[in-house]
A and B are shown apart, each in its own frame.
Chain A
Amino acid sequence: MRKYVLRRLLIATSSLFLASLGVFSLPRLIPGDVVQLMLEERAYGKDLEDLRAKLGLNRPIYIQYFEWAGRVVQGELGESLWTKRPVLEELGRRLPVSLKLGLLALLFSVSIALPIGILAAIRQDSLADYVSRSLAIVGLSVPGFWIATMVILLPSLWWNWSPPIQFTEFSVDPWAHVSQFIIPAFILGIASSAAIMRLTRAQLLEVLRQDYVRTAWAKGVRESAVVLRHSLKNSLIPVITVLGIQIAQILGGTVIFETIFGLPGMGRFLFDAINQRDYPVIQGVNLVIVSVVVLMNLAVDACYAYLDPRIRY
């Protein structure tokens, strides 16, 4: 177990290294001169060479990378070109908002997907199965930003009420603070719950056809025990994999939902930074998001080892 986790840790590190290369080279992909573009965007005069030296762009590219990586490891993510505030400080304020939104979305998605997926599998080809499968495809097809728009628009037309889109701090009004996350998290969770539900159903169906499950039935084990104790754990491995990928998608989705619902999280931060071409911020947010995703995948790998003791690579 420990060897396995260590090995996955090594792989995660290599992923993180490659991803950091991507994050690092992002602003350097811009056609033309970055510095000129930055100055132009900011619209007030500043010495070109000055900024170039400050960004370290006058040195060889690999040295630039190591310098950048060295600073990142020390928690130095630079400062916003726009507000001049340290990126790390800003991220520290915004990360909790996105994490709350993301975790709540994940919670919604799993708690909808697993029971429905299990039900659809054990009652295969029943009405409930058809309805849930059709709903899953609809859930995968309807764009979240449109649902969000409708959720804000329609109640305001019908009942003159719309969900809060003004951010309230926890210290000001705890209940309002929590409740403003519920609707965006639910919508954000829909798409991933559809994917997880479909996979849970398919995997469980496969396991339910195995010999040992038939043996369990033959021994007279209760249905709940056959499904929950004998089958579910074995069918969950691919589901966990997809869950890992869904976490990345949910984090990506925060960009849209934080923008629509006015939540001051990382996604919104990224969106504003992209609009203003605030490269240190874009790099910082991307780096944090990628690190979260890599860590989550590591956790997923550790879950494998728990779910299936045979896994040793």
Chain B
Amino acid sequence: MADHVETLASRSTQADVPRQAVAVPRLHAIWRFCRRKPLGALGGAIVLVMIVMAVFAPYIAHYTYDETIRGARMKPPNAQFWMGSDNLGRDIWSRVVYGARISVTVGFCAVLIANLLAVSIGITSGYLGGKYDLCVQRVVDAWQSFPFLVVILSIMAVLGPGLLNIILALGFFGAANASRVVRGATVSVAQNVYIEAARALGAGHVRVMVRHILPNVAATIIVWATIGLGAFILAESALSFLGFGVPPPYPSWGGMLSGSGRSFFSQAPWIAIYPGLAISLAVFGFNMLGDALRDVLDPRLRGAGGRMR
């Protein structure tokens, strides 16, 4: 028992080390990650490019997203229009760049909501156990038994299209699966002796969950969030494709594949090709990064893969 108390004590002194001192090993860790997991690093690079595109869209894009250029209807890709222009004479490259904003915003906000929900449900359910766990898990069962897309579509029909609604719907319904993952991790962490030690030292349940369990399931959460981001971006594009996402003229990658452009695809295939490539590449980046992070951070989770549900 004394051992565990000592471990706890040494842990807290470790946490007191100033942050600057940690920065250099952290850079080193990133470098090591890149060398060990080149594909994961590639994924990370794609993600980084996408975020930069979203943040600096006005500086990267050649035109604004809804600018109609006279005499440039359905031009094939060339020096002026890198990805060609669409049926309304708008530059597709600029629209793809601005579209990254939607994907990044929806992805990150939805993951944040989903994670907050999943963590609070997963940790309490896994830690407290008993009847509470049983009841909560039945609710999660029902929550999961709705096919994701069907639910989100139905909810969007009720709420109406729009950025905020899509984020809320994705975040809320994406949480079910994540909560299972967090619960699983919590159950195994809660069996550790240091949890018992913390309780013996008089820590309350809330303190144990926040200070002792949460940091230990953080790796699981990070891995899930990375893969979840890709899945949410994919879901957003599907919703926008079906016409329930962000309303035009603001460009969403999925939305660019539907609407009035669809009847011009055979004359100007680039209208359909580039937004689809952008979605695929972005999701691919998040999946690769998530996979590599999983291998590095959380070997226990290896193989739990698949599209986030």
CB of A106 closer than 8 Å to a CB of B: no
CB of B265 closer than 8 Å to a CB of A: yes
Q: Which 8 A-B pairs have the closest CB atoms?
A: A202-B303, A195-B306, A252-B147, A18-B142, A252-B149, A146-B276, A141-B284, A274-B157
For chain A, the count of residues having a C-beta within 8 Å of the partner chain is 63
Q: A16 to chain B: closest CB distance in Å?
A: 8
CB of B146 closer than 8 Å to a CB of A: yes
A137 touches B291 (CB 8 A): yes
Interface SS, A side: helix
Given A146-B279, A251-B150, A271-B153, residue A198 in contact with residue B305 (CB < 8 A): yes
Interface SS, B side: helix
Q: For A53, list chain B residues within 8 Å (CB).
A: none
Q: List 24 A-B contacts (CB under 8 A).
A: A11-B138, A14-B138, A15-B138, A15-B142, A18-B142, A19-B142, A26-B155, A29-B159, A140-B230, A142-B283, A143-B276, A144-B238, A146-B279, A156-B266, A199-B306, A249-B307, A252-B147, A274-B154, A286-B146, A289-B146, A290-B145, A290-B146, A293-B146, A297-B145
Given A19-B142, A27-B158, A153-B266, residue A289 in contact with residue B147 (CB < 8 A): yes
Q: B243 to chain A: closest CB distance in Å?
A: 8
Q: For B273, list chain A residues within 8 Å (CB).
A: 150
- Where the two chains meet, the residues of B that have a C-beta atom closer than 8 Å to any C-beta of A are 138-139, 141-151, 153-159, 230, 234, 237-238, 241-244, 254, 257, 265-266, 269, 272-273, 276, 279-281, 283-284, 287-288, 291, 302-307, 309
Q: For B276, list chain A residues within 8 Å (CB).
A: 142-143, 146, 149-150
Q: A99 to chain B: closest CB distance in Å?
A: 14
Q: A214 to chain B: closest CB distance in Å?
A: 21
Cα distance, A184 to B156, chains bound together (Å): 25
Interface residue from B141, B230, B241 paired with A256 (Cβ < 8 Å): B241
Interface residue from B143, B158, B237, B305 paired with A202 (Cβ < 8 Å): B305
Q: For A274, list chain B residues within 8 Å (CB).
A: 153-154, 156-157, 244
**Chain B residue at minimal CB-CB distance from A20:** B142
**Chain B residue at minimal CB-CB distance from A202:** B303
A137 touches B145 (CB 8 A): no
